[in-house]
A and B are shown apart, each in its own frame.
Chain A
Amino acid sequence: MYFAGVDIGSITAKAVVLDNDTILSTSLARTGHDSRNAGRMVLEEALGEAGISEEDLAKVIATGYGRLNVDFTDEKVTEITCHARGAHFSLPDVRTVIDLGGQDSKGIAIGDNGKVIDFVMNDKCAAGTGRFLEVMAAALQVDLGDLGSISRESKDPAPISSVCTVFAESEVISRVAEGVLKTDIIAGIHKAIASRIFAMISRIPVNEKIVMTGGVARNSGVVDALEERFKTRIIVPGMPQHMGSLGAAIIARERSNET
Chain B
Amino acid sequence: MGEEEKELHKKILATDAMKQLMATYYMEAKAAEGDDKKPVCWITSGAPVEFLVAMDIIPVYPENHGALCGAARMAVDLAEIAEGAGFSRDLCSYARLDIGSAMSRGGPIGGLPRPDFLLCCNNICGTVVKWYEELAVYFNVPMFLIDTPFVHESSRRYAIDYVAAQFRELIEFLEEFTAGSYDAERFREVALLSKEGIGLWSDILRLSENRPSPITCFDAFIHMAPIVTLRGTARVIDYYRALKAEIEQRVEKGISAVPEERYRLLWDNIPIWYELRNLGHLFAEQGACLVADTYTTAWAVEIEVDDPVNSMARAYSSIYLNISIDLMFKKVKALIERYSVDGVVMHSNRSCKPYSLGQYDIARMILSETGKPVLVIEADMTDSRVFSSSQVHDRILAFIETLHS
Q: Do A and B come from one complex?
A: yes
Q: Which residues of A contact B (CB under 8 A)?
A: 65, 77-81, 104, 113, 115-121, 123-124, 203
Chain B residues, Cβ within 8 Å of A120: 376
Chain B residues, Cβ within 8 Å of A78: 394, 397-398, 401
User: How far, in angstroms, from A78 to B394 measured CA to CA in the complex?
Assistant: 7
* CB of B373 closer than 8 Å to a CB of A: yes
User: How far, in angstroms, from A119 to B401 measured CA to CA in the complex?
Assistant: 12
With CB as the reference atom, state the residue of chain B lying closest to A203: B360
Inter-subunit contact B391/A124 (CB<8 Å) = yes
**Contacts A118-B367, A118-B373, A203-B360: A123 and B388 contacting too (C-beta < 8 A)?**
yes
- Which B residues between 138 and 175 are near A, CB-CB below 8 angstroms? none
16 A-B pairs besides A79-B398, A119-B398 with CB distance below 8 A are: A65-B390, A78-B397, A78-B401, A80-B398, A80-B401, A81-B398, A81-B401, A81-B402, A104-B391, A115-B402, A115-B405, A118-B367, A121-B391, A121-B395, A124-B391, A203-B360
User: How far, in angstroms, from A69 to B398 measured CA to CA in the complex?
Assistant: 18
User: How far, in angstroms, from A60 to B104 measured CA to CA in the complex?
Assistant: 55
A-B contact pairs, 15 of them (CB 8 A): A79-B394, A80-B394, A80-B395, A80-B398, A81-B405, A104-B391, A113-B405, A115-B402, A116-B402, A117-B402, A118-B373, A119-B402, A120-B376, A121-B395, A124-B378
* CB of B357 closer than 8 Å to a CB of A: no
CB distance from B288 to the nearest CB of A (A): 14
User: How far, in angstroms, from A104 to B390 measured CA to CA in the complex?
Assistant: 12
Chain B residues, Cβ within 8 Å of A81: 398, 401-402, 405
Inter-subunit contact B401/A116 (CB<8 Å) = yes
User: How far, in angstroms, from A61 to B361 measured CA to CA in the complex?
Assistant: 36
User: How far, in angstroms, from A79 to B401 measured CA to CA in the complex?
Assistant: 11
Question: Interface residues of B toward A: which range?
Answer: 10 to 19
**Contacts A121-B391, A123-B378, A124-B386: A116 and B367 contacting too (C-beta < 8 A)?**
no
Chain A contact residues, majority secondary structure: mixed
Chain B contact residues, majority secondary structure: helix
- Which B residues between 349 and 405 are near A, CB-CB below 8 angstroms? 360, 367, 373-374, 376, 378, 386, 388, 390-391, 394-395, 397-398, 401-402, 405
CB distance from B347 to the nearest CB of A (A): 13
Inter-subunit contact B398/A123 (CB<8 Å) = no
With CB as the reference atom, state the residue of chain A lying closest to B364: A203
With CB as the reference atom, state the residue of chain B lying closest to A113: B405
Inter-subunit contact A123/B394 (CB<8 Å) = no
User: How far, in angstroms, from A116 to B388 measured CA to CA in the complex?
Assistant: 23
Inter-subunit contact A65/B402 (CB<8 Å) = no
Chain B residues, Cβ within 8 Å of A113: 405
User: How far, in angstroms, from A77 to B399 measured CA to CA in the complex?
Assistant: 11
User: How far, in angstroms, from A118 to B364 measured CA to CA in the complex?
Assistant: 11
Chain A residues, Cβ within 8 Å of B401: 77-78, 80-81, 116
User: How far, in angstroms, from A8 to B386 measured CA to CA in the complex?
Assistant: 25
User: How far, in angstroms, from A113 to B391 measured CA to CA in the complex?
Assistant: 26
User: How far, in angstroms, from A78 to B282 measured CA to CA in the complex?
Assistant: 14
With CB as the reference atom, state the residue of chain A lying closest to B378: A123
- Which B residues between 317 and 368 are near A, CB-CB below 8 angstroms? 360, 367
Inter-subunit contact B391/A116 (CB<8 Å) = no
With CB as the reference atom, state the residue of chain A lying closest to B363: A203
Chain B residues, Cβ within 8 Å of A65: 390, 394
Residue in A119, A121, A123, A203 with the greatest tally of chain B CB atoms within 10 Å: A123
Chain A residues, Cβ within 8 Å of B402: 81, 115-119
- 10 residue pairs, one from A and one from B, having the closest CB atoms: A80-B398, A78-B398, A115-B405, A124-B388, A116-B402, A123-B378, A81-B401, A78-B397, A78-B394, A203-B360
With CB as the reference atom, state the residue of chain A lying closest to B348: A123
Inter-subunit contact A116/B394 (CB<8 Å) = no
Chain A residues, Cβ within 8 Å of B388: 123-124
Chain B residues, Cβ within 8 Å of A116: 398, 401-402, 405
CB distance from A98 to the nearest CB of B (A): 16
Chain B residues, Cβ within 8 Å of A77: 401
With CB as the reference atom, state the residue of chain A lying closest to B390: A65
Chain B residues, Cβ within 8 Å of A203: 360
